[in-house]
Amino acid sequence: MQNIPNADMAAAWNGVSGQAWVDEQQLLDRTYESIEGILADAAAAKGARAVLDIGCGSGATTLAVARRLGAGTRATGVDISEPLIAVARARAQREAATAQFIRADAQTHAFEPASFDLMISRFGVMFFDDPVAAFANLRRAALPQAELRLVVFRSVAENPFMTTAERAAAPLLGNLPARKPNAPGQFGFADPDRVRGILEGGGWSRVELAPLDVPCSFPAADLQRFFTRLGPLGQALRETDEATRQRVIREVRTAFEAYVRDGEVRFVSACWMISARAG
């Protein structure tokens, strides 16, 4: 049987995971809005004319870049998820934005060669099953002096908020998947040496990683939706009985108390800002 690249991710992001992100689009966009601004600033500082947003999701960052760069420029988002791309296209239509969106796997899609002078991503590049092949494919779509600007999570240990739900729920559930170091997923680009090897193996040069600590917040009223809909716990709760679900929710809600202040959930996302050049 022929192996299909990123088949598991395609199934997830075109299924329940993708729909969860569609449903929680406004919550996620509010939480990570400042990163949109960081990447839009990077595009403006470079004077970019053609930007590719890798793993664009529902399009918030792509649209922010399109607004910032203005007429005569091109912002394109690519994502493997049809539901998320449908949302992105609808948002662009409502805004009468020039941004365009492609439903495709960035690891294998036949982009027009040498067509982008900047490639960006907000948490969208950690999921490839063959990341070297993915960045080699993206390199072919890059102009000779193109640049990368990628925001990814640092380690699990530096992002305790992100694993609070699963740590609190683990004693009550037996179906939570273990985090595997360097596996495709949220923390897949945490190791700087691994990231350098991936990008250099894909044909990129002058790879640099700079720590980026991003204060994030969302309304405390949305906390239960956050941990019951998203991430490993969200998936596990779909497979539990109602009594267990309610016990888990109580335990997890208590575990998040340290992050709740004045009606908001506040935490810091420990990230890398990765930069590299095609030439």
Specify whether the CB–CB gap between 169 and 245 falls below 8 A: no
231 domain residue, yes or no: no
Alpha helices in the chain (DSSP H): 7-13, 16-23, 25-31, 33-46, 60-69, 82-95, 131-140, 160-169, 192-201, 223-229, 231-237, 242-255
Domain CATH number, residue 14: 3.40.50.150
Whether 224 maps to a domain, the answer reads no
Radius of gyration of the chain (CA): 19
Query: 125: which DSSP letter?
Result: S
pLDDT computed for residue 239 by the predictor = 84
Q: Is residue 260 part of a domain?
A: no
Residue 247 in domain: no
Structural domain count of the chain: 1
pLDDT of residue 232: 86
For residue range 19-55, what is the model confidence (pLDDT) as tens digits?
Answer: 998 999 999 999 999 999 999 999 999 999 999 999 9
What is the biggest distance separating any 2 CA atoms in the chain, rounded to whole angstroms? 58
User: Is pLDDT above 70 for 130?
Assistant: yes
Q: Is residue 259 one of the residues assigned to a domain?
A: no
Show Cβ contacts of residue 245 under 8 Å, excluding neighbours closer than 6 positions.
Answer: 237
Query: In terms of residue numbers, what domain contains 128?
Result: 7-155+184-215+271-277
Find where tokens 């990368």 sit. Answer: 148
Return d(Cα 11, Cα 9) in angstroms, integer: 5
Cα–Cα–Cα angle for 54, 197, 60, rounded to 5 degrees? 15
Residue 161: inside a domain: no
pLDDT in tens, 204-247: 999 999 999 999 999 999 999 999 998 888 888 888 899 999 99
The whole-number pLDDT of residue 1 equals: 37
Q: Is 199 within 8 Å of 207 (Cβ atoms)?
A: yes
Residue 172 domain-assigned (yes or no):
no
- At residue 5, does pLDDT exceed 80? yes
Tell whether 42 is covered by a domain. yes
Taking the C-alpha atoms of residue 271 and residue 153, their distance in angstroms, rounded to an integer, is: 4
Q: Which three-class secondary structure state does DSSP give residue 6?
A: coil
| Residue of 98, 81, 105 whose CA lies nearest to 18 | 81
